[in-house]
Structure 1
Amino acid sequence: MNDRPSLPARLFHRWLLRYVPVAALILLGSVLLGYGLGNQVPAEWLQNPGTTGENPFMPAELTTLSLTINNLGALLVMALGAISLGSMTVLSLILNGLLIGVVVGIALKQVSPIVVAALIVPHGLIEIPALLIVAAVGLRFGWHTIQYIRGSVDTLVTEQDLQEAGWLLVTAAVLIVIAAYIEANLTLEIASQYTDTDLSGVAADRIAIAPR
C-alpha cells in the first residue's frame, strides 16, 4: 500500500500552507501603504503624457494577449526569488502591493467603492491567487537555499521540489490567462452596470500585476 500523500496534499503542505500566508501579509501591508499614498497622489500621475487613463505600468491596449504577456513576465520576476534568496519575490510583492493600493486610492476619488470593486474583483480573485502561488515558490526556494547555506539541510534542491514547483507555476500561468481574459473582455462591462460614468479613464480599470 502506498502511503505517500497525493500531489495536491504535497503541494498544499510543502508549498502553500506556510508560504502563501507570508506572501499575503507582505502584499496586504504594501497595499495598505500604497492606499495611503494613493490618497495623496493626483489621478493624472497614473497617465502617460498625451493619453487618457493609460497606466504607465500597463500595456497601452488591454487585450487578453497583452495582459497575459505582461503578467507572466511579472510572475517570472517573482519566481526569481528562487535564486535570489527570496529577495526578488519580496520586492515584487511590495511593488505590486504599492501599485494596487495607490491605484485603488486614486480610483476611489473618481468613482464609488462598488464600481472600484467591480473593476478589480472579477479578475483579481483569480490573478491574486496566481501571484501568491508563484510567491510561495520563490519564498520556499529562497528559504531552502538559506537553510542549505547554513548547513541545516543536505540537499539544495530535489527532483520532487522541481516537479512540484513546475505544477504550481503551470497552475499560476493558467490562472493568469483566465484573469487576463476576464479583465480584457468582461471587467468594464461588469463595472458599467453600476454607473453611468465613462470608465475608460478610471485608474482602477488598469489594475494588473505590475511588470518587471
Structure 2
Amino acid sequence: MVNMKTFMIEVEALCKIFRKLVTNASLNSKALAANNAGVIAKAGSSTDGIDRSVFRELLHSTFDIVTEETLMERIFCAWEKGYEGLPIRLEGWILGLSTFLKGSQAEKTAFCFRVYDLNGDGHITKDEMFALLRNCLIKQPQEEDPDEGVKDLVEIALRKLDMDKDGKDYQEAIAEEPLLLEAFGQCLPSDRATVSFLSTLQA
C-alpha cells in the first residue's frame, strides 16, 4: 500500500520539476530568439509542456538512457501525451514517470511495446525489428552484406519472441523471460538512475 503522504510529496516534487523544465525551456527559447533575429520561436510552444529536445536531454542526463535517435523519438512518442506530436503536459508527465519509475512489469512491457511498435499497428514486425537492431552491431568493412548479421539477430529474436509467427507474443515472452523486456534497445531507466531520481523527490 502506498503511503499517501509519500505519494503527495512525490507528486508535488514532479510538478515542481515539470514547471522548472518548462520555464527553463521558455527562457532558452526567448534568449535564442533575442540573440538571433532570424529565429522566430513558435508562439506558446515553449510554455505548453516539455518538448522533444528538453525530453531527450532529460532522458540522457537524468535517466542514463543513451540510445540512438530512433529510440529517443519513439520514447517521446510513446509517452502519455494525449495527442501525437504535442509537448508532454503535466498530467502526461506524471503518468509517464509513474510507469517509467514505479510501473508494474505489465505497465513497463506495454510501454516498451509502444516504443518498439514503430508504425503503431499493434505488432512488432520483422521489418521493425530490423530497423531497431540495425545500428546495434558494428559493421566490418570486409563484410559483403553488412546487414546479414542484423538479419540473423532478427531471426533469433523472432524465434524467442514470436513463437507462432503472428507478431503478437511480445507480452507473453516478457512474462516468461523479463530480461527480454528491452531486447530491441534501452527505453527504460537503469535501476541506479531510478533510485537516484526517486531519492531527489524525497529531498
Normalising by the smaller structure, the TM-score range is under 0.3
Instruction: Tell me which protein shows more helix as a share of its residues.
Output: 1
Question: TM-score, normalised to structure 2's length?
Answer: 0.27
Query: With CA pairs under 8 Å and 6+ residues apart, which has the higher RCO, 1 or 2?
Result: 1
